[in-house]
Amino acid sequence: MSGYPRGMLSHPLDPLSAAELESIVAGVRAARGLDERHLVSMVALEEPSKSELSNWSEGDELDRSARITIWDRVAGLVSEAVVGVDGNLRSWTDIAGALSPVLGPEALDALAAAKADSRVIKALADRGITSPDDVHMETWPFGAQIPAGLDDGRRLIWTPMWHRPTPEANVYAHPIGGLRAIVDLDTGEVVAVEDQPGFPIPQTPAPYRASQTGANIELRELAITQPDGASFSVDGWQVSWERWKFRIGFCQREGLLIHDVRFDDEGTERRIAHRMSIAELVIPYGDPSPGAYRKNAFDTGEFGLGNYTNSLTLGCDCLGEIVYLDVAVTDGDGAVREIPNAICLHEEDFGILWKHTDELGHVEVRRGRRFVASSIVTVNNYEYGYFWYFYQDGSIEFEAKLTGIVLTLAAEPGKDYPSSTEIEPGLLAPFHQHIFCARLDLDVDGTANSVVEIDAVAEAMGPNNPHGAAYTTRETVLTVESAAQRLVDPFVNRYWKVINPDRTNHVGKPVGYKLVPGHTTYPMAHRESVIGKRAGFMYSHLWVTPNEATERYPAGDYPFQHEGGAGLPDWTSADRSLVNTDVVLWYVFGTNHIPRTEDWPVMPVERAGFHLKPAGFFRRSPGIDVAPSAPKHCH
Ligand SMILES: [Cu+2]
């Protein structure tokens, strides 16, 4: 199945359709007399509040609106308008001090200007490259210090470059060291060319296309067939599978979203989460070389990660009985672009769910299955897959899949590069970290929740621990924001639990869902560094805030060239109460990427993520109710 019917607007949380986006852009342009100096930075659904949603029922009129961010290139001003999907302007607010993220049309203009610049052409010729068309350039925001003299607040990008020696070459094998153009995004002017000789262009090709590598390791066909069809249904953007019910969402900044997660517990539909997303992704680079230290991009906040969503291909990206959902985004010039097959919905076999062989030899075993909602983005060299999994034991997992091509630098002969891996002679892959921040608005049996930290503790040997192996747990309610900025701690098996203090389970304990950290990392950048200040959220793995509709992005709404301090560090300085209230968890996780030669030429998928598991929520394992497999599959 593909091309799920669009335009079936049925729910206030449905992503903005292409028609709605067109109406919103046309509406704000007409109402405010906008012209070509005004770019469209971002359009996001104005999501209704929880009380508005609970008062809404199917068939009610939909009063949908969007927040559209307009960048005035001449005035250098961000404004936010709220516009109804009918095109009616409802409000207009200037946001002083904010700068727009990088937009497609201006990135193209900047690249064209860099390629036409006589200094760049000469510097390329000095390196033996006669045509700028054989050069791949990218537009990167300044993730670190802006060069002196250019730091007057204008929007700048810089352009790392790679040589393309043959039309189908992997350009990342051939970085052009020492050469960068810096372009004013708003005037399109090349304001500086940095040209430092002495970096030979690495020559070892890195082919990865099958036509180039002759890849021939094959296995026999493995067919995933569901002859009776899939076990899920999709109604508009709502998915029902097994006992789960939830809505798929999408926004051009965060990409894939999950809304309104519920589980049917023995006939009672119970709420677990209102909205879950990956609200930021930042990649600090750890090599001080000129071609690397600036590459600290906020892929979500500075680019709009959802804009780069792939169209997925049946049988390659996804296997089995698939439902694809299409999405629409708005480009900087206001043009609406549809992305077919942007979100993949399907089921996967997931091994055994549970098993026991008893003392009489009786065997009970259940196969497990999981539901997967996924999408993949390509941001320059890297691919990020966002995969949300729903399991039959009541648990949810998020997994980021990281693949694509590592960033590369050319080595200066004779110089040491202790912060990079040499992956081919003279070709360096700088150390870096991929740091994600999930925004998890959980509602465990309702919105009034608290968050508890649970550590396992072993008491000193003595009367309470006579044999030395006793341990217990220490539960600490995270009562205020300052007390809720926490780090993972595997030595005490730390996890966090969202509880509903007013709802108890069959043994009198508050019902809860726990957040189980997975593989993660801790930032290596100092807090007082430019990137450390701008991505202050990195320094705690967990933050908890009371739910505020305006608090969406952990590094603030406009991280582009922002000096830092915005977002979580700012909001939480109010030290608000977190007890028995509508809480949001911000979980920071990621990987520390010390590139391997085996990450080249295309990195095999690396994973990072977390689990949400029921903890005292159900009276027993929901997996018990899963029927045995049919005899034809299990004999
Ligand atoms: Cu990496």
**346 CA → ligand 1 middle, Å:** 28
**573 CA → ligand 1 middle, Å:** 32
Enter the tokens of residue 34. 């906008």
Asked whether residue 234 is assigned to any structural domain, the reply reads no
Q: What is the pLDDT of residue 634?
A: 65
Locus of tokens 């002969």: 413
pLDDT tens per residue across span 225-245: 999 999 999 999 999 999 999
Question: What one-character DSSP code corresponds to residue 582?
Answer: -
Mean pLDDT value across the chain:
95
Across 478-497, average pLDDT: 98
Give the torsion through C-alpha atoms of 85, 90, 93, 98, to 10 deg: -10
Is the peptide bond prior to 466 cis by the omega test (within 30 degrees of 0)? no
**599 CA → ligand 1 middle, Å:** 9
- Torsions phi, psi for 532 (to 5 deg): -60, -40
Asked whether residue 242 is assigned to any structural domain, the reply reads no
Domain identity same for 68 and 134: no
- Torsions phi, psi for 213 (to 5 deg): -90, -20
**233 CA → ligand 1 middle, Å:** 36
- Asked which of 52, 75, 95 is the last residue of a domain, the reply is 95
**Position 631 confidence tier, pLDDT thresholds 50, 70, 90:** confident
Of 294-298, 388-392, 503-507, the one with minimum mean pLDDT is 294-298
Asked whether residue 245 is assigned to any structural domain, the reply reads no
Domain identity same for 399 and 495: yes
Across 462-490, average pLDDT: 97
- Torsions phi, psi for 496 (to 5 deg): -125, 145
- Range list of H helices, 300-421: none
Question: What one-character DSSP code corresponds to residue 101?
Answer: P
Q: Where are the beta strands (DSSP E) in 85-155?
A: 89-95, 135-137, 140-141
Enter the tokens of residue 609. 């993520």
Beta-carbon neighbours within 5 Å of ion ligand 1: 593
**Position 1 confidence tier, pLDDT thresholds 50, 70, 90:** very low
**143 CA → ligand 1 middle, Å:** 16
Non-local CB neighbours of 313 within 8 Å, separated by 6+ positions: 341
**Position 7 confidence tier, pLDDT thresholds 50, 70, 90:** very low
**248 CA → ligand 1 middle, Å:** 28
Asked whether residue 236 is assigned to any structural domain, the reply reads no
Domain identity same for 85 and 108: no
pLDDT tens per residue across span 13-26: 999 999 999 999 99
- pLDDT above 80: residue 3: no
**268 CA → ligand 1 middle, Å:** 44
Enter the tokens of residue 476. 């600490």
- Range list of H helices, 399-446: none
d(CA 570, CA 584): 15
**534 CA → ligand 1 middle, Å:** 20
Which amino acids are annotated catalytic?
Answer: 299, 382
Domain identity same for 60 and 108: no
Q: What is the pLDDT of residue 2?
A: 34
- pLDDT above 50: residue 6: no
Domain identity same for 389 and 277: yes
**627 CA → ligand 1 middle, Å:** 42
- pLDDT above 80: residue 112: yes
Amino acid at 91: S
- pLDDT above 70: residue 140: yes
Domain identity same for 120 and 75: no
- pLDDT above 80: residue 633: no
Amino acid at 595: P
pLDDT tens per residue across span 406-457: 999 999 999 999 999 999 999 999 999 999 999 999 999 999 999 999 999 9
Asked whether residue 231 is assigned to any structural domain, the reply reads no
**20 CA → ligand 1 middle, Å:** 37
Domain identity same for 485 and 418: yes
pLDDT tens per residue across span 155-193: 999 999 999 999 999 999 999 999 999 999 999 999 999
**101 CA → ligand 1 middle, Å:** 22
Q: What percent of the chain is modeled with pLDDT above 90?
A: 92
Neighbours of 309 (CB within 10 A): 22
**593 CA → ligand 1 middle, Å:** 5
The answer to whether the beta carbons of residues 423 and 410 sit under 8 Å apart is no
Asked whether residue 445 is assigned to any structural domain, the reply reads yes
**457 CA → ligand 1 middle, Å:** 35
Enclosing domain of residue 123: 104-213
Domain identity same for 46 and 144: no
**Position 61 confidence tier, pLDDT thresholds 50, 70, 90:** confident
- Asked which of 187, 213, 239 is the last residue of a domain, the reply is 213
SS (H, E, C) 527-570: CCCHHHHHCHHHHCCEEEEECCCCCCCCCCCCCCCCCCCCCHHH
d(CA 425, CA 408): 12
Domain identity same for 405 and 429: yes
Enter the tokens of residue 37. 């100096």
Q: What is the pLDDT of residue 315?
A: 73
**Position 635 confidence tier, pLDDT thresholds 50, 70, 90:** low
Number of separate domains in the chain: 3
Q: Alpha carbon 78 to chain centroid distance?
A: 24
pLDDT tens per residue across span 343-383: 999 999 999 999 999 999 999 999 999 999 999 999 999 99
- Asked which of 78, 95, 112 is the last residue of a domain, the reply is 95
- pLDDT above 80: residue 606: yes
- Cα angle value 186/191/196 (rounded, 5°): 140
**419 CA → ligand 1 middle, Å:** 13
CA distances from 474 to 451, 452, 453, 586, 624 (A): 13, 10, 8, 22, 30
d(CA 21, CA 329): 8
**CATH, residue 22:** 3.10.450.40
**605 CA → ligand 1 middle, Å:** 10
- Name which of 607, 600, 215 is nearest 425 in CA terms: 600
- Name which of 546, 532, 579, 625 is nearest 285 in CA terms: 532
Q: Alpha carbon 490 to chain centroid distance?
A: 25
**383 CA → ligand 1 middle, Å:** 10
**CATH, residue 448:** 2.70.98.20
d(CA 120, CA 175): 15
**279 CA → ligand 1 middle, Å:** 19
pTM of the model: 0.96
Asked whether residue 247 is assigned to any structural domain, the reply reads no
**292 CA → ligand 1 middle, Å:** 13
Give the largest Cα separation in the chain, rounded.
84
- Name which of 433, 426, 377 is nearest 595 in CA terms: 433
**464 CA → ligand 1 middle, Å:** 47
In the β-sheet with 495-504, what is the strand arrangement from edge to edge? 323-330, 336-357, 363-379, 382-391, 396-404, 603-614, 510-517, 495-504, 450-458, 471-477
Q: What is the pLDDT of residue 9?
A: 55
Domain identity same for 444 and 472: yes
Neighbours of 471 (CB within 10 A): 11
Locus of tokens 């209102």: 274
- Torsions phi, psi for 412 (to 5 deg): -90, 120
Asked whether residue 443 is assigned to any structural domain, the reply reads yes
Domain identity same for 326 and 192: no
- Torsions phi, psi for 374 (to 5 deg): -145, 160
- pLDDT above 90: residue 632: no
Locus of tokens 């909205």: 275
Domain identity same for 380 and 517: yes
